[in-house]
Amino acid sequence: MGAEAIALDGEKLSSVVEISGYVDGEIGPPEKMPLLTPYQLGPFHLSHRIVLAPLTRCRSYNTIPQPHAALFYAQRTAPGGLLIAEATGVSETSNGYPHAPGIWSQEQVEAWKPIVKAVHDKGGIFFCQIWHVGRVSHTDYQPNGVAPLSSSNKRMEGQITLPSGTETADASVPRALKIEEIPKIVEDFRLAARNAILAGFDGVEIHGAHGYLIDQFLRDGINDRSDAYGGSLENRSRFALEIVEAIVNEIGAEKVGIRLSPFTNLAGASDSDPMGLGIHLAKALNKYNILYAHYVEPRFSLNGDVATDHTLLPIRKAFKNSFFAAGGFTRESGNESIASGIADAVVYGRLFLANPDLPKRFELNAPLNPYNRDTFYTQDPVVGYTDYPFLEQV
C-alpha cells in the first residue's frame, strides 16, 4: 500500500563484528558499537543513534490519533532515544491513506498530547513528521471530492487504498497548484508545526521525500511548471525551502528536520540528476541552520537494494549539521555508517516496528522478531501493532 513509509529496513539480518578493543597491540576493554554511542543532537542528548523511523500505520481513526498509539510509541522508547512519529497531515487536502493522523485541528492536537506524554514519561525525544501527499491520493479523500493537489496535472501510476481501508482505485488525476495558491500550503505547514509544539512534540520533521507533495515539486520527472516553481534546481527547490523557512521562523531551527529521497523512485518520482538535487538541497538548507537532514540511501527500493555507484557521502559533506541515513540498514551496516562518518544517526523502520526493544537486541546481538507485512496498514489496535514481543517475552 502506498509509496511510503514502512519500507525502511532490509530483509537480510546480519551481525556486526564486535569492535575488539585492540590498541597498539594491547587488549583493552571492548568499545561500544557505534550505534550505541551517545550523540548531542543540538539541544537534545541522545543516548544512542538508533532512531525510530516515521511509519504510516493507518490506525488513527478518521484522522484522530488514538490511545493505542501511546502504547506503540512508549514500547519503542528508551531514555535518550529519538522517535519520529508517523507522517501526519497538515490540512484536509493532505491525506491519501486510510486512518492516517492529522494535526490541523484542535481535536487532533488534544489527541496527540497523551501520546507525546507517554514518550516523554519514558525519557524519549519525540518529533512529529508532517506531510502533504499531493497527487498520491484520490478524490474520495479530498474535501467535496475535488482533485488532489500537485505541482503538475500528471497522474501517479498506481493504486490508492480508499478510506474504507479495504478497497483500492487508480490514483486520481491531480490539479496543478496555481502560483497564488502555494502560500496557503506553506501556511498549512507552518500551522501544523505550531500545533505539533502545542501538542508537546520536541520538534518536527518535514516530509520532503518518497514522491509526496514537496517531492513532486523537487523532481523534474513530475514538475513540468514554467513559473518560479519549475525548471531550474533553484525553482524546483523553492517550495520546499519556503516551507522550511516558515517553520524555522515559527518554532526555531533547532526543532526542525527534513526528510529527502532524491534517489528513490517511489510514487513515480524521478529526477534526471538525483545527486545534483541532493547536494543542492543540502547546501541550500545550510542557510536555515536546521537541526538535521534525513536522507534515504541511494541503494534503497521497496523491493530490496539496487545496484548503484551513488552514496550519500557527497551530500553528507555538503550539509553542515547533523545527518541521518535511512533505507534497508541492518545492525552491521548501521554500525558501519556511523563508524565511517556517513551518518550521525541511522533510522530504522521495519526492524523497529517488529522489535520494540531494538537497541537492546542490537547491544546483545540477540535474534530479531520477523515483521508481518500483512498487518503494516491494517486498522487493528493490537495485532501487528503493539503485540510484537520484547526479548524477555520470547
CA dihedral 84, 54, 148, 284 (to 10 degrees): 60
Residue 319: CB atoms within 10 Å: 21
**Do the Cβ atoms of 195 and 104 come closer than 8 Å?**
yes
Residue 387 in 3-state DSSP? coil
**Phi, then psi, of 168 in degrees rounded to 5:** -130, 160
- 236 contacts 245 by C-beta, under 8 angstroms: no
d(CA 185, CA 242): 10
> Would you please indicate which residues are annotated as catalytic (active-site) residues?
212
CA distance 370 to 190: 38
Instruction: Tell me how far CA of residue 269 lies from CA of 93, 235, 381, in angstroms.
Output: 20, 17, 32
Cα–Cα distance, 312 to 282 (Å, whole number): 11
User: CA 65, CA 148: separation in Å to the nearest integer?
Assistant: 23
CB neighbour class for 209 (10 Å; exposed up to 12, middle 13-18, buried from 19):
buried
End-to-end CA, the chain: 30
- Any alpha helices (H) in the chain, and if so which ranges? 67-75, 106-121, 182-198, 213-218, 233-251, 274-286, 313-318, 331-339, 350-354, 358-364
Query: Rounded to whole angstroms, what are the CA distances from 323 to 22, 255, 259, 291?
Result: 29, 14, 10, 9
